[in-house]
Amino acid sequence: MSMYVLGIHVGHDSNVALVKDGIVVADIAEERLRGVKHFSETPSLGLEWCLREAGISMEDVDIIAVVSLDTLNSQPYFVKTLGLDKERLNPKHAYIEPPTYIKSYQISKGTELVHVDHHLAHAASAYFTSGYNDKCLIITADGIGDSVSLAVWRGEDGGIEPLMKVGAEGSLGWFYGAVTEALGWWVGDGEGKTMGLAPYGNTKGMEGIFDSIIPHYENGRLIKGHNFGDPCYWQSGGSFHWHLRDSEYVKGLVDKYGRENIAAEAQWALEEEMLKIILPWLEREGVNKFCCSGGVFLNIKLNQRVWESKRLDHQHIFPNAGDGGLGVGAALYAYYHTTSEEGIKPISHIYWGPAYLNHEIEEILKARNIPHRFCDDISLKCAQLLAAGKILGWFQGRMESGPRALGNRSILIDPRKAENKDIINKRVKFREPFRPFCPSLPLEAADKYLENWRMERYMITSFNGKEETRGEIPAVVHVDKTLRPQIVERSENEKFWSLLTEFGELTGTPVLLNTSFNIKGEPIVCSPRDAIRCFYDTGMDYLALGDFLISKDGRC
């Protein structure tokens, strides 16, 4: 009989994952089903979808792994959704009665309910997807989670052992968050913008400007913490926003030194402090395999610096490194903790979200009276459109988990013209001009464009672009000459691989600019309806929905 484990995170990026016999079979962030970015309340739609996707009911679930020690005490609406019986119910929630139309799952007495600490869930998401079966170092780092901001772990023989934990006073995530807030962006969302802005700045003459607000590490340990105060949680439209008081101090620095330079110095300072943690612990543990997760490791430039330290043979960054990956981590932890499973299986994709069949898509298109055409070879047809300079929405198969579009919910354009970056920004994404776009390319072409590369499927790290080919794809080379690639294997995404390959045959350049299928400020689209709305609300030219093609002028 199969063993099912549900992993549930309630908080910033609420999500639910379902693991069957150690394999992730479903995973979804609630934001994708609600249309609210970083949705932070009970992920009840995700819960329902995961069960439906696997064709099971709550009675079939062996373990529910809830992230955070405090969730069952602090989240009464979530507790009521689970429908816990009286013996397992915190008395303080007894007074809340949901309306009768809110689904209550009434979990069975046989279902085990376990808590998984926030950073342990991050560590598990990295370790139990790595495929590393000998000793490795695991580091988790974020703003804060269960009172921990950074933790060091040893992964060995299928177990995770804590080696060091640091509280709020050592939070490099909050340091970077305060800079992000000072630059005018959402903490827990806008850090990628700070990172994208950094290469436009210069750190000359700025050494030490953050000394009073950044935690300092030496030889792997915190030597000088910082009192960040209590961050203010601001609930807005279903998501959390934070205010970090240091942002006010940083705002003064922004006025003095300029936005780009502040971003550059913050990026440099973050990388330096993280290296002072990671490298000594690699030495201490005597390992060259490194796994990591937590929101700080969404920083792809940091990940590149770690790789370029030449200290690693293997680096596994869990691609959904923020809190959106906690459900997967908790479920995998509970599974491996309970079973005598031998061997950790590596993941080779994160297409764990909903898929829609052609007949479902056709029904939706017909109901809305949208002209469409079925294509026998959608990849070839779309490659031709892209080669002709069109902007294409590409919606195929199961939605990707995590913050990056990986060829199933993507907006694509030819990267050979530098101005295509601005065209995408102006017509589709409506986002800041300094932010880089990522390339997708088939594995067979990786060596042509990437320096000192390794297999990376998830746009979670950057590599230097090869000097001789950088000029061929200017729209996806950042100002610092790096690329953040998705390397596509045929076996993992045949349709997208074919699109890239056919575009290469037509143009001589098997690379596409690939950005997530959404508008700035909104989650990545999940359903065909979401995609259609986004298509008609932006300047995209064509939309490939499964094997159907739609154009703005109705002539496909």
Interface positions with Fe ion (CB under 5 A): 142, 145, 323
Shortest spacing between CB 113 and Fe ion, in angstroms: 21
The full DSSP string for 461-485 is: S-EEBPHHHHTT-GGGS-TTSEE--
Distance separating alpha carbons of residues 404 and 535, to the nearest angstrom? 18
DSSP 8-state secondary structure symbol assigned to residue 205: T
Query: By CB neighbour count within 10 A (0-12 exposed, 13-18 middle, 19+ buried), where does 101 fall?
Result: exposed
Shortest spacing between CB 162 and Fe ion, in angstroms: 16
Distance separating alpha carbons of residues 524 and 32, to the nearest angstrom? 7
Our CB check for Fe ion shows the closer of 145 and 510 to be: 145
Spatial CA neighbour of 301 closest among 105, 463, 490: 463
Our CB check for Fe ion shows the closer of 323 and 414 to be: 323
Distance separating alpha carbons of residues 547 and 38, to the nearest angstrom? 31
Shortest spacing between CB 123 and Fe ion, in angstroms: 11
User: CA end-to-end span of the chain, whole Å?
Assistant: 49
Cβ neighbors of 207 (< 8 A, separation 6 or more) are: none
Shortest spacing between CB 326 and Fe ion, in angstroms: 7
* Residues facing 138 on adjacent strands: 153, 291
The full DSSP string for 295-344 is: GGGG-HHHHHHHHHTT--SEEEE-SS-SGGGHHHHHHHHHHHHHS---SP
Cβ neighbors of 175 (< 8 A, separation 6 or more) are: 210, 213, 214, 215, 226, 246, 266, 269, 270
Shortest spacing between CB 459 and Fe ion, in angstroms: 20
Residue nearest to Fe ion (CB): 142
Our CB check for Fe ion shows the closer of 30 and 323 to be: 323
Our CB check for Fe ion shows the closer of 142 and 530 to be: 142
Spatial CA neighbour of 50 closest among 292, 260, 331: 331
Shortest spacing between CB 13 and Fe ion, in angstroms: 9
- Which whole-number Å values give the CA distances from 209 to 183, 214, 556, in the listed order? 16, 10, 56
Our CB check for Fe ion shows the closer of 187 and 412 to be: 187
* Residues facing 28 on adjacent strands: 16
In the block, residue with structure tokens 């000394």: 211
Our CB check for Fe ion shows the closer of 90 and 147 to be: 147
Shortest spacing between CB 321 and Fe ion, in angstroms: 9
Our CB check for Fe ion shows the closer of 125 and 396 to be: 125
Q: How far is CA 72 from the centre of its chain?
A: 25
Our CB check for Fe ion shows the closer of 15 and 420 to be: 15
Provide the token pair at 155: 């992964």
Our CB check for Fe ion shows the closer of 177 and 415 to be: 177
Provide the token pair at 483: 């690329």
Q: Which amino acid is residue 188, in one-letter code? A: G
Our CB check for Fe ion shows the closer of 145 and 402 to be: 145
Pairing of strands 112-116, 15-20: unpaired
Around Cβ 242, how many Cβ atoms within 10 Å?
Answer: 19
- With beta carbons less than 8 A apart as the criterion, state whether 253 and 285 touch: no
Shortest spacing between CB 531 and Fe ion, in angstroms: 29
Shortest spacing between CB 320 and Fe ion, in angstroms: 11
Our CB check for Fe ion shows the closer of 76 and 294 to be: 294
Distance separating alpha carbons of residues 128 and 103, to the nearest angstrom? 32
Shortest spacing between CB 450 and Fe ion, in angstroms: 30
Shortest spacing between CB 270 and Fe ion, in angstroms: 16
